[in-house]
Amino acid sequence: MNFAAGPARRIGLLGGSFNPSHGGHRRISLFAAQALGLNEVWWLVSPGNPLKSDKGMAPLAARVASAREQARRAPIRVTAIERELDTRYTVDTLRALQRRYPKCRFVWLMGSDNLAQFHRWRDWRRIARTMPIAVIARPGYDGVALASPAMAWLRRYRMSAARFKSRGEWSAPALVILRFDPDDRSATAIRRDDPDWASRHSDIALRDQLTHRLIPTAETAPV
Ligand SMILES: Nc1ncnc2c1ncn2[C@@H]1O[C@H](COP(=O)(O)OP(=O)(O)OP(=O)(O)O)[C@@H](O)[C@H]1O
Ligand SMILES: O=C(O)c1ccc[n+]([C@@H]2O[C@H](COP(=O)([O-])O)[C@@H](O)[C@H]2O)c1
C-alpha cells in the first residue's frame, strides 16, 4: 500500500470469526476509532479461530460478505488477509502485518470476552509486546476479564484512552480498557434467531467472486 509521506497511519485491527458480522462490530470499531484517534479499523475475518471448532462455521466468503455489509460507508476495511498470509495464530498475523506495512502503527482490538481467555492464545505475552491492545467492554464479560490471568500481567501497562490518543509514538505493551454504553449484540444470538443467514450471503459472495473480490486484502478492500 502506498501512503503519502507524513505521520504514520494509526490502524485498529479487529480479528474475528464474523459468523456473521453484526452491528456490534461496527459500533465498537467506530467507538474505538474515535476514542483512540485511529485513521481506520481493519477487520481480519479469520479463516478459523484456533480455539473454536469448525462446526457451525459458515464459509469464509459468506462471513466476509456479511462483514462488508456491516462496514459500508465507514472507515473500516474488511480483509481475509490471514488466508493470504497463511497465518492462523494472531501472533504470526500481527508480525506479518507489521513487516508488510511498516508505515502503519497498529493496535489490537478485542472484546472483553477475548481478554478473559487471552492467556490461552499462543504466545499471548508476545502479542502484547508486539503492539498495544485495546479491550472493549462487553456485557457479561467484564468481571471475568478483569480477574483473568492475562489481566494480572497486563494491568501494569494500563493507560487511559486519552493518554493513548495523545501519544505520537506507540509502545508495547500497553493496555487500554474502553468503556462505553455496552452493546449486547452477538453472532451467537444471530445464528440462533436466523440460522439461514449464510445462505443469503452466499449469493453475495458468489457475485463478489465473479468480480474477483472474494477475498479482499488490505490493498484491495474499499475504505
Ligand atoms: N457486542 C460486542 N461488544 C464488544 N466486543 C464485541 C462485541 N461483539 C463482538 N465483539 C468483539 O469483536 C471481535 C470479533 O467478534 P466475533 O466475530 O467473534 O463476534 P461474536 O459476536 O463475539 O461471535 P460469537 O457470538 O460467535 O462468539 C471479538 O474481539 C469480540 O470480542
Ligand atoms: O492466536 C491464537 O491463539 C488465538 C486464539 C483464539 C482467538 N484468536 C483470534 O482472536 C480473534 C477473535 O476470534 P473470535 O472467533 O472470538 O471472533 C480472531 O482473530 C482469532 O483468530 C487467536
Q: State the amino acid at position 155 in one-letter form.
A: R
> Is ligand 1 within 6 A of the CB of residue 114?
yes
Domains of the chain: 21-215 (3.40.50.620)
> Is ligand 2 within 6 A of the CB of residue 207?
no
203: helix, strand or coil: helix
pLDDT at 1 > cutoff 70: no
Q: Which atom of ligand 2 is nearest to the CA of 44?
A: 19
Q: What is the pLDDT of residues 205-219, one digit of tens each?
A: 655 554 434 344 444
pLDDT at 148 > cutoff 80: yes
How far is residue 210 CA from its own chain's centroid?
Answer: 27
pLDDT at 210 (0 to 100): 45
pLDDT at 99 (0 to 100): 94
Q: Which atom of ligand 2 is nearest to the CA of 127?
A: 1
Confidence (pTM): 0.92
Q: What is the pLDDT of residues 122-135, one digit of tens each?
A: 999 999 999 999 99
Identify the nearest ligand to the CA of 180 by its number. Answer: 1
Ligand 1, atom 31: closest residue by C-alpha: 111
Q: Residue 198: CB partners within 8 Å, gap ≥ 6?
A: 20, 58, 59, 62, 63
pLDDT at 204 (0 to 100): 65
Q: How far is the CA of 55 from the centre of ligand 1 (A)?
A: 18
Reading the block at residue 91, the C-alpha cell is 501472533
pLDDT at 205 (0 to 100): 62
